Amino acid sequence: MFIEAERVRSQIVLIFTAWGMDPGHIQTAADVMIATDLSGVDSHGISMLMDYNNSRLKGKLNLKAKPRIVRESPATALIDADAGLGHPAAVMGMNLAIKKASNFGVGIVTVKNSHHFGAAGYYAGLALKMGFLGMVTSATRTINTVPTRGKNALLGTNPIAFAAPTQRNEPFLLDMATSSVAANKVRVHELNGKPLPPGWVLDSKGEPVTDASEAMDILFKRTEYIGGGLTPIGGTPQMASYKGYGLAMMAHILGGVLSGSSFSPIRVKSQQPKDPDNLGHFFMAINPNEFREEGEFESDLDQVIDVLHQSPRANPEEPILVAGEPEAAKRMERLREGIPISPALSDMIRRVCESSGAEFILGHHP
C-alpha cells in the first residue's frame, strides 16, 4: 500500500497518545519519523514502532520523560533525556546547539540517558534552516557490527550525519551508518522478502550471508549466537574495513563517551530488563559566517557541487549526485504517491495498536 504521509503520521500520533506520552513530545517524534519515511529511510521511521513498543512493554521507556539541561556553558551543554524516546531530546539538543552557534559561532550539545532517536540526518538538517553546518553522531544500543579482525559483534551501526547549506543546489546532507548498512535495512529486506547484497552481513566463519532471515537471526540473536554480524564500511580488511571501524569508534566517542552514556558490550553485562538503554548523542552547529563573508560559503559549495554534477558519467543514464539529493527526490515522490507500507509491516503495526488500545487506520484509505 502507498499511504499519504499525513495518514501515516496520524497513526504514529494515535499510538503514542495511547501510550500516554507528552503531547509535545508526540508531535516532535511523529515529525521526525514521518520526515524519515518521506526521505526513503524506511528502516528508521514508522517501522521502528515495534521496537519502541517492546521497550515500552519491558518498562525501559519513560513515557513521561522531561529532558533537561544538567551542565551548560556559553557554547556547550549536556542534556539528560530522562530515559525517554530519543527524538524529543535530540531535537532539543540540536536546537540548543543552533542557538549557541547563533550567539558564539559554534554550539556543541550532548545528550545522555536517551533511547533510539531515529535518523541522525534529520537533526543535522535542522541546522540548515539557519544557514548553519550541522554534525551529529550517536552511540548505539544494538550490538551487531564486528570490529576488523574480530569474530564477535561489539559495535553498533554508530551513525554520522553532516549537513552544509547551499544557495542553488540541494543542501549537502550526509547520513550514514559506519557499518556497511543499517541493521534495520536488513529487517526491511526480510519484510519484503528480498535477498541481501553480499558483504552486508558475515556469519561466524566470516562468510557473506545473503538470506535476510538468516542475517536477522544473527543480528537480532533470534537463535543461539555463535558469532558474526554486520561488517564495518569496507567489508573486509583488504577493502579497508578498518576505516569504517575507526569511524564507528569516533561516532561512539563523541556520542557516548563524551556524554557519559553507555557502551553496549559493557552495559549488557549488568543491565536488567527494565533498565533504560542510556544512549548518548552528539550535536554540533557551526555558523559559516564566522569564517567567511555572508553567502561566500554557500556560493563556493554550490560551485563544488556544480563541478561534480558536470563531471563525465560512467553511465550516461546515471547522473552524479551528492549526499542529500536522492533523499530530496524521494521526498517529492512520496509526497505525491504516499509512503509504502508492506502487508507484513501493516500487520505488525496493527498488533502494536491492539496492544496499545490505539485505533488502527492504515488498513484502508479514507
Q: What is the CATH number of the domain that holds 124?
A: 3.30.1370.60
| The three cell numbers locating residue 148 | 576488523
Same domain, 336 and 275: no
In a domain, 349, yes or no: yes
Same domain, 113 and 245: yes
Same domain, 171 and 22: no
Same domain, 119 and 260: yes
For every residue of 300-332, DSSP letters joined together read HHHHHHHHHHHSPPSSTTS----TTHHHHHHHH
Same domain, 80 and 101: yes
Locate cell 552481513: which residue?
201
**CB-CB contact of 173 with 192 (8 Å):** no
- Give the whole-angstrom CA distance, residue 202 versus residue 231: 7
For every residue of 178-230, DSSP letters joined together read SBSS-HHHHHHHHHTT-PPPTTSEE-TTS-EE--HHHHHHHHTTSS---SBEE
Predicted confidence (pLDDT) per residue in 205-264, tens digit: 888 899 999 999 998 888 888 899 999 999 888 889 999 999 999 999 999 999 999 999
Closest CA to 133 of 283, 297, 285, 251: 285
Same domain, 74 and 133: yes
Same domain, 11 and 137: no
Predicted confidence (pLDDT) per residue in 22-63, tens digit: 999 999 999 999 999 999 999 899 999 999 999 999 999 999
Same domain, 144 and 118: yes
Predicted confidence (pLDDT) per residue in 297-331, tens digit: 999 999 999 999 999 999 999 999 999 999 999 99
Give the number of domains in the chain: 2
Same domain, 39 and 136: no
Same domain, 20 and 46: yes
Specify the 3-state DSSP secondary structure of 158. coil
Q: What is the CATH number of the domain that holds 337?
A: 1.10.1530.10
How deeply is 339 buried, as exposed, middle or buried, from its count of CB atoms within 10 A (0-12, 13-18, 19+)? buried
Does the structure show a pLDDT above 80 at 153?
A: yes
Domain that holds residue 4: 1-58+324-366
- pLDDT-derived band at 142 (thresholds 50, 70, 90) equals confident
Same domain, 256 and 113: yes
Does the structure show a pLDDT above 60 at 19?
A: yes
In a domain, 352, yes or no: yes
In a domain, 304, yes or no: no
- Give the whole-angstrom CA distance, residue 93 versus residue 259: 12
Locate cell 499525513: which residue?
6
| The three cell numbers locating residue 321 | 549526485
In a domain, 297, yes or no: no
Rg of the chain on CA atoms, in Å:
20
Same domain, 150 and 28: no
Please, which residues have CB within 8 angstroms of residue 244's CB and are 6 or more apart in sequence?
A: 148, 178, 179, 180, 231, 232, 233, 234
In a domain, 285, yes or no: yes
In a domain, 298, yes or no: no
- Give the whole-angstrom CA distance, residue 229 versus residue 148: 12
pLDDT at res. 364? 54
In a domain, 295, yes or no: no
pLDDT at res. 365? 45
In a domain, 220, yes or no: no
